[in-house]
Amino acid sequence: MTRRGFVVELACVACAALAGAGLGGCNARHVSVADTFPKSSYATPWVLRGEVWSGSLDQAADAVGEEAERWAAFEPERVWLAVYRHDTRAGHELAVRVWAFASREHARQAYEHFRPDDADLLEAGDEACWTADGVLVRWGRLVFDIFGRGPSTSASPEQAVYLLAFFEKRMPAELPDDPR
């Protein structure tokens, strides 16, 4: 085999391997933030309820509730929302809100504003912390807010970190700085 033939064959094998792994490849589609949300029972015992919703903050205001005005001050460009239910514990849910901002600095300002004053730090994304009911993570231009919903015993912050690990595994390196 010629050197050129070897390079072409190696490139084809690499493209096939990357595409098969869901990481790209020659004909790979662009992965969106919504694609990083664990689907169906991928994150067992947490199961995605319905679909991942995405849109503007104005469109999400009803779902976000009273915090929508506070987030609006930081001008998020896009919001992704999802709810995960526990597969055996009725009423136990984790809510996931991902906010995309115009710049890393806008994301940092939002993260700093919503980070509890006494929050313990967590190693995730660019900076992260524990909250009373979950985790808050800044990662590039994104801010993740994952927290328990429902009864006070609905889900612990540790369970929010468990779900966050699936995002970390599924997130392409360039997506936090170029969210789509």
Q: State yes or no: pLDDT of 15 exceeds 80.
A: no
Tens-digit pLDDT profile for residues 50-109 = 999 999 999 999 999 999 999 999 999 999 999 999 998 888 899 999 999 999 999 999
| pLDDT tier at 9, thresholds 50, 70, 90 | very low
DSSP assignment of 112-125: HHHS-TTPPEE-SS
- Identify which has the larger pLDDT, 53 or 31: 53
Whole-model pTM over 0.75: yes
**Cα–Cα distance between 70 and 170 in angstroms, integer?**
29
User: In percent, how much of the chain has pLDDT > 70?
Assistant: 81
Interval 19-40 mean pLDDT: 68
Mean pLDDT for the stretch of residues 136-144: 97
Task: State residue 75's pLDDT score.
Answer: 96
Q: How many CA atoms lie within 13 A of 158 on its CB side?
A: 1
Tens of pLDDT along 110-133? Answer: 999 999 999 999 999 999 999 999
